[in-house]
């Protein structure tokens, strides 16, 4: 299986983004997804900046994919989407059906995790339109994946979100702005103060969700490294790791060791235990409550 680094979901400064990807060039990941996928107001890097970063990663031997936003709300965002989909240098990850429409007939796009690919008919349609890889929606279970794998079209690769806070929902409202009693149009980019999102806790002090601008994420991160053997048996081609502001390199190394068979998956999970102090959010994978931990087999 290959390892992919998903797009940064948070609002980092241009310097932080460039520093992060400078380190990624040395990491044992095969695929890197780039771009702003959450909010069109976040423009620390412009289109030319992203292409520059893409070129540096490609020169380091990485397969680069440009990712689109999951929720389009303005004409300017639609114009940016059209430019991105028209680029002739890198494949594109489509995160809404508008992007799929623009990419239909191109050499091959990735159907991202925000495309509701819940059945084999949808996979067949996406492949017919030009998809060469699809990402399992984070709320689907291993049992559903097994059913879909049995009927997926030949030549269509499968990718699974394997580490990071799960992207659960998007809203036209901005959760972060609301938390600061600010209107969305005058948010002051307060999301930039939370490089890994802002925790949302219950009255019992349970970390239930993480708010990230217009995006709602799981409170705890998902970690499927212990499911490495099952993922391979199911014919999964790519495992996705979602970036965070700290120790992403350690996560990559742990997954690489498990995927390459040089470290037992349970030991690899133990190596990352300090990143899941509140437990892992693996329930969806095991077909139980999403915020549950789950266990193999």
Extract the tokens encoding 252: 């990559």
Please name the residues in contact with 178: beta carbons below 8 A apart, sequence gap of 6 or more: none
Q: Tell me if the bond preceding 47 is cis, omega within 30° of 0.
A: no
User: Which residues are paired to 201 by β-bridges?
Assistant: 207
Give the CA distances from residue 80 to residues 14, 97, 151, 191, in Å, rounded to whole numbers and listed in that order: 19, 15, 35, 22
> Dihedral of CA 91/24/29/220: which sign?
negative
Closest by CA to 268, choosing from 252, 284, 281, is 252
Q: Tokens in use for 115?
A: 């495309």
Strand 215-223 relative to strand 157-170, pairing: antiparallel
Residue in 213, 210, 133, 228 with CA at minimum distance from that of residue 166:
210
Which residues in 35-118 belong to E strands, given as ranges? Answer: 63-67, 92-94, 109-111
Known binding residues for [4Fe-4S] cluster are 39, 174, 187, 191
Which residue is listed with tokens 């600010």? 182
> CA-based diameter of the chain, in Å?
51
CA 103 to chain centre: 20
What Rg do the C-alpha atoms of the chain give, in angstroms?
Answer: 18
Helix, strand or coil for residue 82?
helix
């Amino acid at each position: 299986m290959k390892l992919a680094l998903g797009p940064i979901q948070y609002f980092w400064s241009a310097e932080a983004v460039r520093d992060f990807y400078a380190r990624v060039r040395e990491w044992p990941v095969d695929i890197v997804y780039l771009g702003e996928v959450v909010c069109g107001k976040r423009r620390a890097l412009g289109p030319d900046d992203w292409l520059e970063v893409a070129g540096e990663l490609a020169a380091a031997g990485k397969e680069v994919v440009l990712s689109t936003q999951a929720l389009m709300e303005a004409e300017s965002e639609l114009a940016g989407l059209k430019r991105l989909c028209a680029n002739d240098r890198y494949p594109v990850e489509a995160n809404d059906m508008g992007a799929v429409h623009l990419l239909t007939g191109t050499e091959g796009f990735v159907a991202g995790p925000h495309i509701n690919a819940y059945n084999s008919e949808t996979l067949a349609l996406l492949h017919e339109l030009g998809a060469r890889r699809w990402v399992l929606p984070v709320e689907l279970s291993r049992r559903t994946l097994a059913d879909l794998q049995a009927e997926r079209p030949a030549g269509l690769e499968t990718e699974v979100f394997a580490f990071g806070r799960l992207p659960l929902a998007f809203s036209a409202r901005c959760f972060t702005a609301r938390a600061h009693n600010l209107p969305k149009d005058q948010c002051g980019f307060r999301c930039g103060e939370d490089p890994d999102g802002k925790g949302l806790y219950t009255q019992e002090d349970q970390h239930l969700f993480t708010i990230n601008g217009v995006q709602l994420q799981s409170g705890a991160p998902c970690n499927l490294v212990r499911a490495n053997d099952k993922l391979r048996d199911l014919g999964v081609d790519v495992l996705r790791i979602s970036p965070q502001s700290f120790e992403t390199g350690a996560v990559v190394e742990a997954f690489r060791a498990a995927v390459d068979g040089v470290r037992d998956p349970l030991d690899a999970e133990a190596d990352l235990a300090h990143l899941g102090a509140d437990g892992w959010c693996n329930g969806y994978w095991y077909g139980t409550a999403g915020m549950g931990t789950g266990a193999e087999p």
